[in-house]
Amino acid sequence: MPKPTFRAAPVRVRVPATSANLGPGFDALGLALTLYDDVVVRVTDEPGLSVDVAGMGAASVARNARNLVVRAMFATFKQLGGRPRGLEVVCANRIPHGRGLGSSAAAIVAGVVAARALAVGGADRMDEEAALRLASDLEGHPDNVAACLLGGLTAAWTDDGGAHAVALPVAADFAPVAFVPGTSSSTKSSRKLLPDEVSHGDAVHNAGRAALLVAALGSRPDLLMPATEDRLHQDYRAPAMPRTAALVHELRAAGIPAVVSGAGPTVLALTTSATRDDAIAMGRRGWAATALDVDTDGAVVIPLSSTATL
């Protein structure tokens, strides 16, 4: 593939937070939420790399080629046939890091989409399916990156050809609440708590509940409580995040469908516009109860003349 030419104008990308698993849909279901990171990237005349980060993670994320956005951009440029000599990257982060809201997926998708947008004809060289495959390879699993890239509710899977995803309907009155703690956790560490094997009964249980959850989120919110029952991951991770497990239990005991968001420790209440206030009222000290709607756009390139703010 010949090396691409690059746009002189800067590119701005906005990517949503995501919640994966949603209870029984382990490593398959993902939901995009209305909380966003923004990335602005410009090709510079001078060789080198400049990275600036504001907001969440600003004190800890790398400001060099190890930055996750930059790593995703470089991987994308490689597939597109080459990268520019100089880049200026500015990140405005609002998605909390290490909370189970897809911050790493957002960084990866932002980098892939920004690099593709900078290359003239980038969308022709790398379509949505190819972008999803690359983002999933970089993330290690497709659930968060699929929802971040496509928006809404997605079901993702992998086969010999890589990652794939489909968009699924979400009821118009679905109105989730995220309970975000002040502490973080490591997805990699929490995965180590999962067993290598589970019983056939537990596998059957989750397969049925995941299918039911798709129906419940699409048109039957009255079924969200049984649809969010999980036996594959939440109980195994509970000892590492007892406060998360306790809040999930309290919310569910009060009739509010609640799950661990991704690998946690955030808790997501799958409420509707009629029940959202009841969930918020269940908030506890040390948790930020945040009403979030479903993002339907996914990753978007925003004209810099837009009135939207960084």
Report pLDDT for 308.
Answer: 42
Report pLDDT for 307.
Answer: 40
Core vs surface per residue 147-183: b (16+ CB within 10 A) or e: bbbbbbbbbbebeeeebbbeebebbeebbbbbbbbee
- Could you tell me the fold of the domain covering 11-168+295-301? Ribosomal Protein S5; domain 2 (3.30.230)
Cα torsion for 56, 57, 62, 65, to the nearest 10°?
-40
Q: Which CATH number fits domain 177-291: 3.40.50.850, 1.10.150.120, 3.30.70.890, 2.130.10.10?
A: 3.30.70.890
Are 33 and 18 within 8 A, CB to CB?
yes
Q: Which of 103, 158, 164 is nearest to 131 (CA)?
A: 164
Report pLDDT for 129.
Answer: 97
CA 183 to chain centre: 18
Are 266 and 181 within 8 A, CB to CB?
yes
Instruction: State the span(s) of the chain assigned CATH 3.30.230.10.
Output: 11-168+295-301
- CA-only gyration radius of the chain, Å: 19
Report pLDDT for 309.
Answer: 42
Q: Which of 96, 213, 76, 216 is nearest to 149 (CA)?
A: 76
| Residue 155, helix vs strand vs coil | strand
Q: What is the pLDDT of residues 42-63, one digit of tens each?
A: 999 999 999 999 999 999 999 9
As a whole number of angstroms, the distance between CA 269 and CA 284 comes to: 14
pTM of the model: 0.94
Q: Which of 194, 19, 193, 15 is nearest to 99 (CA)?
A: 19
Torsions phi, psi for 308 (to 5 deg): -60, 145
What tens-digit pLDDT sequence spans the chain (310 residues)? 788 999 999 999 999 999 999 999 999 999 999 999 999 999 999 999 999 999 999 999 999 999 999 999 999 999 999 999 999 999 999 999 999 999 999 999 999 999 999 999 999 999 999 999 999 999 999 999 999 999 999 999 999 999 999 999 999 999 999 999 988 877 667 778 898 999 999 999 999 999 999 999 999 999 999 999 999 999 999 999 999 999 999 999 999 999 999 999 999 999 999 999 999 998 888 899 999 999 999 999 997 754 444 4
The answer to whether the bond into 265 is cis (omega within 30° of 0) is yes
